[in-house]
Amino acid sequence: MTRTPSHLFYQGRQRRPVLDQARGVYLWDVDGKRYIDGSSGAMVCNIGHSNPRVLEAMHRQMERSTFGYRLHFETEASEALAAKTAALLPEGLDRVFFVSGGSEAVESALKLARQWALATGQPERWKVVTREPSYHGSTLGALAVTGYDALTDPFAPMMRMMPRVPAPRAYLDGLDPSDPATGRHYAEMLRARIEAEGPDSVLAFIVEPVGGASTGALVPPAGYMEAVAEICREYGILLILDEVMTGAGRTGAFCAAEHWGVVPDIMVLSKGFAAGYVPLGAMAAQGEIVEAVLDAGGFLHGYTYAGNPLACAAGLAVVEEIERQGLVANAAARGGSLLARLRGLMARFPVIGDVRGMGLLTAMEFVADRESLAPLPAHLNAFSRFVEMAYARGLIVYSRRSRGGYAGDHVLVAPPLIATEAQLDEIEGLLEATLEEFSAALAPETV
Ligand code: PLP
């Protein structure tokens, strides 16, 4: 098909069909082809597409005002969403700063943390320890705390790269993730890094409680989250939880921190928080951190669109839908079923070397060899080939490199939290057919 040249550009030259409409877990292109959204876009559309209550709430807000600059007006929408967010997050995270996406939320967290250190007489604290692999966003600040060399290498001279510790990939290290000794083993790496950096120079530790695109839904081993929280407390280091992907019910709790009873100093949300209806993210912080910064002269940070009333009205309606439909519980129940289905596929397809996840954030990692877990040859680009094969069948899934950006392949399966068992049947059937085609295509290339 000949296409009119586009003035748009994003990552590359690939063209995609033109979207016509989207409803629930399905999308249709202008030629009428239907796609099932097996990854909620980029793990965004938690409540599904075109929810009428959210559209109605947006409409009501649009008729009142679509913009009110936050230095000129407070808005009922942003006040209501801040109050709702504070009520849903772990204890004490009761001050909320709105932004327009995940990277902005991470930037905001880094800058609030730094200003807290200055405000409390600790100017030597500036290092933010991160994990490798990890992904915290595409702006230069968020990228400096991202452990994914393929994305960071080109920009390294322009950034102050931050110290890294290994993500707790027990499956690759041959360790038992259910053994608390495994959790302690990886948490002690954080302690060692803090000691090596000089404890007084470390400001914060940023972590995705369940890994996102960079690790492929990595679930922390037993005891890990509690242990890293304890180490941060011991050294007076702030714990920043990046719940951009895991928040808003995705893992079967409103935020993943609840699974371990961990209370961070700062948490960031986006993606499912507004479920794709508008660009929105949030940074929530413990009250005393915010008060210290405000007492010291104010938070030197802001975005023009921060706290936009239309975005906040949509976000509030999304969160209300998550509650009204019981989507957190559905994510937990359907997540268990999805994981079991992926394990069933793993039993049939040797190319799957690991299946993991929590709630409706799940992944399968491809390998060349089950025993050694050696990755497939990188030049095969297995991660993107699988996505294209699934897409041709009308299944949307999301994939990335698993081993730090240059090697390894995983596919995230993360449908909207409204998904039913029948829709999981459909996703499983399409995954199975795709895996058959994928395994057959790879076989001659991997001998
Ligand atoms: N943090 C995590 C864990 C993410 O998964 C992402 C995006 O994928 C971001 C931050 C950045 O969010 P955004 O793409 O909205 O800027």
Mutational pocket test of ligand 1: of 131, 135, 139, 243, the residue with most ligand atoms within 8 Å of the beta carbon:
135
- pLDDT on residue 390: 98
Domains and CATH numbers, the chain: 53-324 (3.40.640.10), 326-445 (3.90.1150.10)
- pLDDT on residue 285: 98
Is the pLDDT score of 338 beyond 90? Answer: yes
Task: Report the pLDDT averaged over residues 205-211.
Answer: 98
* Residue 440: burial class (beta carbons within 10 Å; 0-12, 13-18, 19+): exposed
What is the percentage of the chain residues whose pLDDT exceeds 90?
97
Mutational pocket test of ligand 1: of 104, 270, 398, 400, the residue with most ligand atoms within 8 Å of the beta carbon:
270
Residues in Cβ contact with 155 at an 8 Å cutoff, skipping those fewer than 6 apart: 140, 143
- pLDDT tens digit string along 99-137? 999 999 999 999 999 999 999 999 999 999 999 999 999
Is the pLDDT score of 18 beyond 80? Answer: yes
Protein residue whose Cα sits closest to atom 13 of ligand 1: 102
- pLDDT on residue 444: 86
- pLDDT on residue 443: 85
Lookup result for tokens 């995983």: 410
- pLDDT tens digit string along 57-86? 999 999 999 999 999 999 999 999 999 999
Is the pLDDT score of 2 beyond 80? Answer: no
- pLDDT tens digit string along 264-320? 999 999 999 999 999 999 999 999 999 999 999 999 999 999 999 999 999 999 999
pTM for this prediction: 0.98
- pLDDT tens digit string along 38-48? 999 999 999 99
Q: How far is the CA of 208 from the centre of ligand 1 (A)?
A: 10
- pLDDT on residue 201: 98
- pLDDT tens digit string along 324-334? 999 999 999 99
- pLDDT on residue 112: 98
- pLDDT on residue 447: 63
- pLDDT tens digit string along 147-175? 999 999 999 999 999 999 999 999 999 99
Q: On the CB side of 301, how many CA atoms lie within 13 Å of its CA? A: 21
- pLDDT on residue 162: 98
Protein residue whose Cα sits closest to atom 1 of ligand 1: 136
CB of 159 closer than 8 Å to CB of 143? yes
Protein residue whose Cα sits closest to atom 12 of ligand 1: 102
Residues within a 6 A CB radius of ligand 1: 42, 101-103, 106, 135-138, 208, 212-213, 242, 244-245, 270
Task: Report the pLDDT averaged over residues 415-430.
Answer: 98
In ligand 1, the atom with minimum distance to the C-alpha of 142 is 10
What is the percentage of the chain residues whose pLDDT exceeds 70?
100
Tell me the pLDDT of the chain averaged across its residues: 97
- pLDDT on residue 109: 99
- pLDDT on residue 3: 84
Q: How far is the CA of 198 from the centre of ligand 1 (A)?
A: 29
